[in-house]
Amino acid sequence: MNLEENIKDCISSELEKGVIEKVIAAKLEECVGKAVEGLFSYGGDVKKAIEGKVKEAMIPYLENYDYSKYLLKLDNVLIEVLKHSALDNKKLLENFKDLMTNEEIPKVIKMSDIFEEWKKYAAKEVDTTKLEEDCGEYEYLEVSMSCEDVSSSWSDYEKYIVTFECEQDEELNFEFEISRWKKSNKKTFDLHYYEKHDIESLRYLKSFEIYMMKVKQAFSDIELDEESTSDEVEVEANPYD
């Protein structure tokens, strides 16, 4: 028997044993395994489909869930922490509660409404020793708002610097930025408020700062209905000796 016949006999023998079927089955199993692994891997179609269904079920539930019932528990935990710290407990706790309170922040807020909030803050926090003495029951703050266009011709964004000023007390002055993309059809602006606060700095926050943080967190759109205005704010005068 020559070499050629030996090779033919060997091939015939292996074919009768089902070797080809086994090899094909093994390779097919390997191929299917890799395909399935790809579907479930990062960016895979199955992973995307599952994530989509999970988001559809979870996000509306989380958005609509009332977290207010946990405020008392959070307060108790925070109080226990503060017992062992040197922070101003009362102010810190009040600011913490203000930030956590589920207050409805409008999706669209007029600039004039933000100015009104600041005026309330100014009337409450003004240093009354800086007010002029008179015989009336009330004093008046002279306040103003200005929105300065600081856009650059080369920039794709329209930007304004907004300034609230109190003539009698400069410590109350407040400044922030709003902007919008020039090429968009959007008529409203985005708020840019860059203050960052950790737990220790909470005790130093003013009520208007907390309000601005909540507007920022709500991603509210700002309607620039007024660019400049001035007003007088009524403040209850301190009794004079």
Task: Take residue 240 and report the two structure tokens written for it.
Answer: 């004079």
pLDDT tens string 74-122:
666 666 665 655 445 566 666 565 665 656 788 999 999 999 999 999 9
For position 113, what pLDDT does the model report? 95
Euclidean distance between CA atoms 204 and 195, whole angstroms: 12
- pLDDT of 224 > 70? The answer is yes
Between CA 16 and CA 23, with CA 18 as vertex, the angle to 5 degrees is: 145
Residue 131 three-state SS: coil
**How much of the chain, in percent, has pLDDT values that exceed 70?**
49
* CA 15 remoteness from chain centre: 68
Q: Cβ-count burial of 100 within 10 angstroms (0-12 exposed, 13-18 middle, 19+ buried)?
A: middle
Residue 154 phi/psi, 5-degree rounding, is -90, -10
Binned at pLDDT 50, 70 and 90, residue 239 comes out as very low
Output phi, psi for 14, to 5 deg.
-70, -35
Label residue 205 exposed, middle or buried (CB < 10 Å: 0-12, 13-18, 19+): buried
* Of 230, 211, 229, 192, the residue nearest 114 (C-alpha): 211
Question: Do residues 104 and 213 lie in contact, with contact meaning Cβ atoms separated by under 8 Å?
Answer: no
Residue ranges of domains in the chain: 3-64, 69-102, 105-128+136-236
- State the Cα–Cα distance between residues 202 and 218, nearest whole angstrom: 19
Q: Is the pLDDT of residue 201 over 70?
A: no
Rounded to two decimals, the pTM is: 0.57
